[in-house]
Amino acid sequence: MNNGTHTRHMFKATAWIIGAAGAFLLISAGLEFFVRQTVDQTSFPTILELLYVAFWSYAAGVVLLIVAPVWLFISWMRAWVKQYAVNTRTRIEPRGRRVEDSGIEHSGMETDAVESPTPSSGKRAGSSQARELTQVA
């Protein structure tokens, strides 16, 4: 996903979250206003039910307004880091090309300083040569 597509997706998600939170808060305010206007004509259990629904509507709206921006920011940062990592990898190493098959040849400087093992030296000379090669590399 390129950066422009992700940005458009984030704007759409933000619009949906703000719309949903606004709807919850509007429902909460409307129910509370309705209860105030009809407090003399309705029964007590009805008022309690309306206030209960209004409270949870308000709670959902506030939670959406607090949690959603944090979630969107984390999502945006993850996408940004992923895009940065992909671009960095592309600049360092071409895609589809292995490190082993990179075609980089050794200059031979490391092998000039190492003596070649003689047949009489046996396994010990080979292991010391391997140690020297790992120390040089």
DSSP state letters, 48-106: HHHHHHHHHHHHHHHHHHHHHHHHHHHHHHHHHHHHHHHHHHHHHS-TT--STTS-PPP
pLDDT of the residue at 86: 77
What pLDDT is stored for residue 116 in this prediction?
53
> What does the DSSP assignment read for 18-48?
HHHHHHHHHHHHHHHHHHHHTTTTS-HHHHH
pLDDT at 41: 86
* Average confidence (pLDDT) per 10 residues, the chain, 137 residues: 69 86 93 89 89 94 90 84 75 58 52 52 53 54
Residue type present at position 84 = Y
